[in-house]
Each structure stands twice: as C-alpha cells, then as structure tokens.
C-alpha cells in the first residue's frame, strides 16, 4: 500500500513538473504578464516587510544550517543541539530554517537555555514543517527562497553549517560568494564534521584553487574553517568577535 501511494505521488510530481515546463514555453499576452508579475512583486514585498519588522530587534544571532532529514538519534542532531545551547550561554540567539532535523536541533538547544530561537520556515511540498522549539513571535514562513536567504544573511553574525544536502550547500556558497565579493562584511563560517566536508574541501583546493585558471584565490580558503565538535565551533565565533572587542549585547 505504501509503495503504491509513493508511486502515485511520484507520478503526480512528474505531471506537475511537465506542466511547468509546458507553461514556460506558452506565449502570454501583455495583460497576463502584467497581472501575474504585479501580484508576485507585491507578495515579495510583503515577505521582505514582515521579515524586516520581525527580525530587526532580535539582537546578535548565529544561524545553524543542516539537513532536514537528520533523525533525532543521529550524532549530528546532538551536536547541533549542543552548539545552539552553548551559543545561547555565550550571549547569542539562534536562527535556523525552522524545519525538522538539524534545524529542530538548533532551535531545541536555544529553547532549552531560554535563548532567542528564530525559525525562518519555507513552504515546500515535502519535508518542511516548522518545529515546536521556535519562539512564537520569531517564526516566519516564506514562499520565496531568495527572500529567506536575505534574512539569513542580514540578521546573522555567523553561520554554523552541519552536514546537509543541496539547500545547505546553497546557503554556504551564497555566504562565501557575498563575502568574497565584498557585498557583505565578513563573518565567521564554521563547517562542522571534518569527515563529511573533507571531500568537498579537497576538491576546492585541488580543482578550484590549483588547476588551470585558479578560479579562487588562496585567501578564499580562510573564509571558513572546519571543526568536529560544539566547543570548537562556538570558540571560533567567540574568537572572531573578540578580535574586534565586540561581544553580544544581551
């Protein structure tokens, strides 16, 4: 029965995908374009306004990224929860993507210590639902990934990135790109799990840095660091800001 349901769901998803492809090639008249795009602009604006209003006063926070698929009994779930708890004890709030897995662990760790627990949720056809450890006044749900990413970047004083999939990598490289191109000020980016990240980092060093056109500079490797446990992760963030004689203000 379960197999049959999964097959039906897969067929429905495939049909939706085909419909979207066909729709992209369908010619529309100006009134259709104007009407659809105008409403989209207002929706985007409303998400930006709500995000700015709710997050403007949250104080210094660190964002924790990682897979929504991480089960509660997994090692990295426990590490994420511990990192969040330590961050709160060191004066930071915690921001996550608001869903299950690593995101839930981050919010749970912050909530357990009475710290600010922020969730930037997003509507998805699967996986994503907000967890129960987010402060009710600090839960936002977005339709647009790019608006959500602006909120992560704008209101975070650091990123802690645990193992995850495409979404986690998207957020990581978005931050690295913006810092590398001086579009935003530098902040600490900490990758947790040396074994998990070593293949990617080796590829960055041997392919992006050393081969052919040298697609990145040696200094770009200093934009992130890799650690294995919660204590090391929080230490990196504390030491980064201690160089500027800054500390959390709550």
Q: How many other CB atoms sit within 10 Å of the CB of residue 205?
A: 14
Per-residue pLDDT of the chain (250 residues; tens, 9 = 90+): 554 544 544 555 566 666 655 665 566 665 555 566 788 899 999 999 999 999 999 999 999 999 999 999 999 999 999 999 999 999 999 999 999 999 999 999 999 999 999 999 998 876 568 899 999 999 999 999 999 999 999 999 999 999 999 999 999 999 999 999 999 999 999 999 999 999 999 999 999 999 878 899 999 999 999 999 999 999 999 999 987 655 554 4
- The verdict on residue 34 lying in a domain is no
- Distance CA(90)–CA(93), nearest Å, equals 9
Strands (E) located in the chain: 61-65, 93-96, 117-122, 139-142, 159-161, 189-192, 225-227
Residue 41 in any domain: the answer is no
Distance, in Å, from the CA atom of 28 to the CA atom of 24, rounded to the nearest integer, reads: 10
- Give the domain extent around 198: 46-242
CATH number of the domain that residue 204 is part of = 3.40.50.450
Q: Is 26 part of any domain?
A: no
How many domains does the chain divide into?
A: 1
The structure tokens listed for 127 are 């996986």
Residue at 135 is within a domain: yes
Residue 50 domain-assigned?
yes
Instruction: Evaluate whether residue 11 is within a structural domain.
Output: no
Q: Within 10 A of 19 (CB to CB), how many other CB atoms are there?
A: 10
Neighbour tally for 39: CB within 10 Å: 10
Query: Would 65 be classed as within a structural domain?
Result: yes
Does 159 fall in a domain?
A: yes
As a whole number of angstroms, the distance between CA 208 and CA 223 comes to 15
Residue 162 in tokens:
């645990």
Radius of gyration of the chain (CA): 20
């Amino acid at each position: 029965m379960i197999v049959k349901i999964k097959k039906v769901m897969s067929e429905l998803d495939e049909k939706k995908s085909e419909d979207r492809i066909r729709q992209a090639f369908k010619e529309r008249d100006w009134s259709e374009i104007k009407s659809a795009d105008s409403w989209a602009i207002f929706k985007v604006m409303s998400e930006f306004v709500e995000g700015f209003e709710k997050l403007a006063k949250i104080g210094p926070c660190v964002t924790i990224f990682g897979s929504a698929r991480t089960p509660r009994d997994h090692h990295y779930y426990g590490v994420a929860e511990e990192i969040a708890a330590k961050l709160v004890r060191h004066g930071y709030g915690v921001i996550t993507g608001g869903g299950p897995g690593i995101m839930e662990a981050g919010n749970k760790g912050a909530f357990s210590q009475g710290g600010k627990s922020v969730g930037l949720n997003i509507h998805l056809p699967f996986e994503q639902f907000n967890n129960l450890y987010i402060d009710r006044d600090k839960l936002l749900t977005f339709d647009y990934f790019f608006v959500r990413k602006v909120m992560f970047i704008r209101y975070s004083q650091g990123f802690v990135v645990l193992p995850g999939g495409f979404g986690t990598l998207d957020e990581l490289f978005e931050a690295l790109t913006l810092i590398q191109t001086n579009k935003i000020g530098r902040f600490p980016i900490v990758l947790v799990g040396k074994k998990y990240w070593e293949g990617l980092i080796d590829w960055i060093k041997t392919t992006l840095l050393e081969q052919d056109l040298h697609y990145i500079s040696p200094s770009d490797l200093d934009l992130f660091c890799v650690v294995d446990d919660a204590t090391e992760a929080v230490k990196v963030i504390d030491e980064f800001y201690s160089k500027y004689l800054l500390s959390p203000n709550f």
